[in-house]
Structures are given as C-alpha cells and as structure tokens.
C-alpha cells in the first residue's frame, strides 16, 4: 500500500509544479491581438526579462506587428508600420492611449480603421483595470479617424469594436 501513496504524492507534486510554472510564465507574457482569417486572435508575447507587464509594454509589443513566424501562420495587423505610442494613462477604468500621427496613415477603408482600433482596444482591455479605451492622436481627441469617418470621439469597449 505504501508505494501507491508515494506515487500519488509524486503525481500531486508534478501537477502542482506544472500549474505553478504556468502561472509564473503568464506573468512574463502580454496578450496582444492580431488578425487571423479575418478575426481577432489573442497572441501571447514574452515581456522582456526584468520588465513588468504594463499597458505601455503591451502596446509596444502590438505595434511591432506580426513576427515572421506569426506571418507564416497567417497572423496580420491593421496598424500601419511606424506608429508609435506616446503615452498611456488610466483613470476610472478608462485608458487614454496617445499615438503618433502615423496612426492616421493607415491606407485602407473603414473596415481597416475599425480593425486597427479593435486591436488596440482588445489589447488594452486585457488588463483588469481597463474597461474602455480613448484613442488619441498626438495627445488630442479626434472626432473621427480617416476619410471614412470612423468615430473615435469617446472611449470604446470591446462591444463597440466587435470583429
């Protein structure tokens, strides 16, 4: 009967170790959103060793676009290359995220703009303290983004930018 107890303890320790390892590794990863097959898809990205997982870090990872492997696997981004994040502030569940003017140079229609905003909103609302996102360009609130007139005059949640 003794060997069964030893085996049970070894199995319990192994399961606990796997769970602990998963918790630790998730703390060193940020979730960003890219497109795959026309839908938003969550992608885990490693956070630099010694860095904390913050909204600013997550946005910088998002703005890097798809890695070569992700491109090979069919992941894309609607965010134009060269967009930079200027600042992120959070108050009462709303994140204000200010981007460089390059955000306005997306080169596409209304669907592309909505996809771009959805990637930003979904990435930031992964953080429990953020429910909605106000997108700013160079620190200024715009009423619309792009010639197609995608309205960004107020904070948006996931329900506002469903994809």
pLDDT in tens, 63-108: 999 999 999 999 999 999 999 999 999 999 999 999 999 998 887 7
pTM: 0.82
Relative orientation angle of helices 55-63 and 110-124, to the nearest 10 degrees: 140
Percent of the chain residues topping a pLDDT of 90: 63
pLDDT of residue 18: 52
The whole-number average pLDDT for the span 139-151 is 79
pLDDT of residue 152: 87
pLDDT of residue 110: 79
In angstroms, rounded to a whole number, what is the distance separating the alpha carbons of residues 20 and 35? 30
pLDDT of residue 53: 87
Residues 6+ apart with CB under 8 A from 73: 36
- Tell which wins on pLDDT, 10 or 91: 91
- Furthest C-alpha separation in the chain: 75
Per-residue confidence at 137, pLDDT binned at 50, 70, 90? Answer: very high
């Amino acid at each position: 009967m003794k060997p069964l107890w030893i085996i049970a303890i070894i199995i319990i320790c192994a399961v606990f170790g796997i769970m602990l390892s998963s918790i630790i590794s998730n703390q060193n990863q940020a979730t960003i959103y890219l497109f795959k097959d026309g839908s938003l898809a969550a992608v885990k990205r490693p956070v630099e060793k010694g860095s904390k997982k913050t909204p600013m870090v997550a946005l910088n990872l998002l703005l890097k676009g798809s890695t070569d492997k992700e491109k090979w696997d069919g992941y894309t981004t609607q965010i134009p290359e060269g967009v930079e994040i200027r600042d992120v502030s959070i108050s009462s569940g709303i994140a204000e995220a200010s981007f460089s003017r390059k955000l306005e140079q997306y080169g596409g229609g209304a669907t592309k703009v909505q996809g771009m905003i959805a990637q930003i909103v979904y990435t930031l609302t992964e953080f429990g303290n953020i429910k909605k996102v106000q997108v700013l360009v160079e620190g200024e609130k715009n009423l619309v983004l792009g010639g197609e007139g995608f309205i960004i005059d107020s904070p948006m949640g996931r329900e506002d930018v469903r994809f």
